[in-house]
Each structure stands twice: as C-alpha cells, then as structure tokens.
Amino acid sequence: MEKKDFEAWLDNISIAFLSLTDLQKNETLDHLISLSGAVQLRHLSNNLEILLKRDFLKLLPLELSFYLLKWLDPQTLLTCCLVSKQWNKVISACTEVWQTACKNLGWQIDDSVQDPLHWKKVYLKAILRMKQLKDHKAFETSSLIGHSARVYALYYKDGLLCTGSDDLSAKLWDVSTGQCIYGIQTHTCAAVKFDEQKLVTGSFDNTVACWEWSSGTKTQHFRGHTGAVFSVDYNDELDILVSGSADFTVKVWALSAGTCLNTLTGHTEWVTKVVLQKCKVKSLMHSPGDYILLSADKYEIKIWPIGREINCKCLRTLSVSEDRSISLQPRLHFDGKYIVCSSALGLYQWDFASYDILRVIKPPDFSNVSLLGFGEIFALLFDNRYLYIMDLRTEKLISRWPLPEYRKSKRGSSFLAGEMSWLNGLNGQNDTGLVFATSMPDHSIHLVLWKEHG
C-alpha cells in the first residue's frame, strides 16, 4: 500500500476506532494482537512500558511532589532515594520533610540553614546517634586518678571538672585529655564551684573559702555557719555568694568583702542545695531578670528574694508530700522557668510563674531513680546500676548505660551531669564531652563520655 493510501486508511480506521465502545475497542485490540507477529509484539511491549510507567515525581510540579512526600515516613523516603538520581535529588531537597523527621528524633532545628541538602544529612547523622543510644553504644568511659582520699565534691563547667577531696586538696581537670591543670591545698571540701580565676569551697569545717587558682592563695574566708557547708553558689555581677549548711540555714555573703549580709532561716533539715539563678518569667512576686535564690533540704524547696534586707521572707515553700517518709532526692534543677526535683513519688516539675505542679513523671521502678539533668526534650536520670535517658515527650526511657559501684552520697555532691545543652535537643555538635561523673571508693573519678559519631 502506498504511503498516501496508508495514511488515508489509518485516518479512517482511527475515526472508526474512536467511535467504538470500550468493550469493542478491547475486542479490536485483542484481534489485532492475535494477528501480530514477534516484531509487532516486541514493539508493542516496548511502547507499553513507557506509556504505563510514568515518573510522576518527575512530571509533577515541585510543590506537589513535596506535599506527597510529607506523607511518607523517613525510612520509606530513604528507600525512595534509591529509585533514580532524579528521585534522590527531589527527596533530598524536601527540607520540611527532613526537618520534621529530625524534630521527631529530638533534634534541634536551625531555620537559618538554607542548604536544601543539609537536613537529609542531619537526619542520617541523627538516626545513627539514636540507634547508638537504643543499642547502649553511645557512650564510653574514662577515669581521673590523683586524689589520695575520698572525693566528696564535684563541679563541671566548659570541659573542666573540679574535684574536692578529704586529702585537703582541690584539683581542676581537663576532661578531654584527663590532665590535671591545677592542684591547690584547701580544707576538706563538701562543695565546690569555680570560674577561670577562682575556686569557692564549702567545707566540713563549717566555713566557706575563696581561692586563687594560679597561686593557690586563699583570698577570702567566710565564717558564720555552725554546721558543715554542703552547697555554695555565687554571682560576680551581684557580688553575692550563698551557702547552705547542716545548721539548717542559708547565708548570703558579700563575695568580695567576705561579710555576711543575711541569714535565711526556716529549714528543718540540712540544706543540701542552693541555686542562684536569674528569673525568666513574670509573676506577682518577680519579673524577668530578677535574681532568685532556691534552697532545698530533705523535704522542702524554699524560694527567696535576693535583697540586702535583714530577715527577708521566703516567697514560697514547695514540697511533694506531707508524709515525712517521702523525701526529695538531693538534686535540684532550676532554669529560670521551671523547678524540677525527684522523689520516690516521681519527677516533679513546677511552673515558676505560678508555682503550680505542671506534671509528675513516674517511670517504672522510679523509687530509686534520681535526677541529674532536665531539658525541653530529654532528662538524664540514674540509680545504683544505670544511667538513663528519658524522652520527656513520651516519658519513656530510651537508653541506659551501666554504672560501676560508685561512692554513694545522701547529699548528692559526689556525682553530677556534664554537658547539658543536648537535653534541649541534640544537634550533631552538642553530643560530645562529659555526660556523667562520679567519685569512686578508690578515690578516682569515673567519667561517662559521649562516643564520637561513627
């Protein structure tokens, strides 16, 4: 058949085919297929594959592709990335999907990062770290050796750990290297706090002292307590030091002068913790920016204003039970917005603006678990056998790490949390350094550290 005649015939056939019903079209195709040879069938097969397997992700506008991808879970998305280079490119560039996946894992999101491929990489790093936590492989251990008697006081800041011992010395350690930077002669230390220039110690000799790191010189001595000093805190801006003692009192001192400005009474047990912190919320009793003093004993947490008036009144007393068999664990968290403390009844969180209890968290067998650190996403807890990480969004324990037979302390001074920023959400950079430190019966310091990313 000539080409011209064939084209005319094909047009007539096409018009007639389009006028048929679907059933008639199917019968016509079946008949044509039965008349076809191998060459025609191969041609038909090749063209059908192209017509039926349409790459919708390639054909759709990018906005619609992103909308569809949001309905898939991250593991499915990673599998989809293997389909083709085009799919991998589109899926990797879906920022919102990967940001949401990171948030669900407890990861911090920095919206200023504009690189569209950045968040998929962050997710892959996050999923690895969360798997390490789940498999109990996220940490490693180390030890600091140098004291010759029990270590009763620990304080951590910016990669440095201070230890105070019954061997009448205090040492400052670089946690990353394990090297002792300073070692000075002191009194017996029940509590320590330091900065770059000085060390403040509370002692079993009923006094507080301030020391210069570089020379080891005692620059100030604070006398007035009639019992051991179990906790100290200070603020250079206010020129104030506070101390809590076994004499049931809290004293407020002039840091530079060494004079006692105030003695706060009302506790009926040893004061084992004092915290000097700037308030971040407004209430009837305080405004954002005001400095607040918290003190805790075995049963109560007291909130005080920081002023120089004599016999100032306690703003509020918090407790978890009137039953004296229920005591507070010797740790206290206050970030200016929330107060958190643990007891045998669970983990209590108070709103600092209203002093209302926001929630009580009680995981299984909580009676022996103590608080180490509390953030927006995670909490760090421990008992006699394990270090625990809790996801505060679900209130479930997501990881644990075995602990050795460490030295027990009813006042909680011989163990502490290290870096705390990751408790507000991991970000790939803040899961480094010290996680936990405790003193051991052999006078060494046991360290739990983040393991480097694989």
Q: What is the pLDDT of residue 180?
A: 95
Assign 309 a pLDDT band (cuts: 50, 70, 90): low
pLDDT tens track for 72-103? 888 898 998 898 888 888 888 888 888 888 88
Q: Which pLDDT score, from 0 to 100, does residue 413 have? A: 63
pLDDT at 412: 53
Mean per-residue pLDDT, 22-45? 89
CB 3 within 8 Å of CB 10: no
pLDDT for the residue numbered 57: 80
- Classify each residue of 357-382 as buried b or exposed e, where b means 16 or more C-beta atoms within 10 Å of its C-beta: eeeebbeeebeebbbbbbbebbbbbb
pLDDT tier at 55, thresholds 50, 70, 90: confident
Q: What is the pLDDT, as a whole number, of residue 333?
A: 92
Local confidence band at 184 (pLDDT 50, 70, 90 cut-offs): very high
pLDDT at 156 over 70: yes
C-alpha separations of 89 from 55, 56, 62, 92 in Å: 14, 14, 11, 5
Length of the chain: 454
Q: Are 396 and 379 in contact (CB under 8 A)?
A: no
The answer to whether the pTM exceeds 0.95 is: no
Using pLDDT thresholds of 50, 70 and 90, give the confidence band for residue 46: confident
Model pLDDT for residues 402-435, shown as the tens digit of each residue: 998 876 665 556 889 999 999 999 988 899 999 9
Residue-wise burial string across 275-293, b where 16 or more C-beta atoms lie within 10 A, e elsewhere: bbbebbeebeebeeebbbb
Domains annotated for the chain, with CATH where assigned, are 29-135 (1.20.1280), 139-450 (2.130.10.10)
- Identify the three-state secondary structure at position 149: coil
Residues 247 and 269: beta-carbon distance below 8 Å: no
**What tens digit of pLDDT does each residue of 233-266 get?**
999 999 999 999 999 999 999 999 999 999 999 9
The closest alpha carbon to 132, from 370, 389, 373, 434, belongs to 389
Is pLDDT at 325 greater than 60 in this prediction?
Answer: yes
Report the share of the chain in percent with pLDDT over 90. Answer: 59
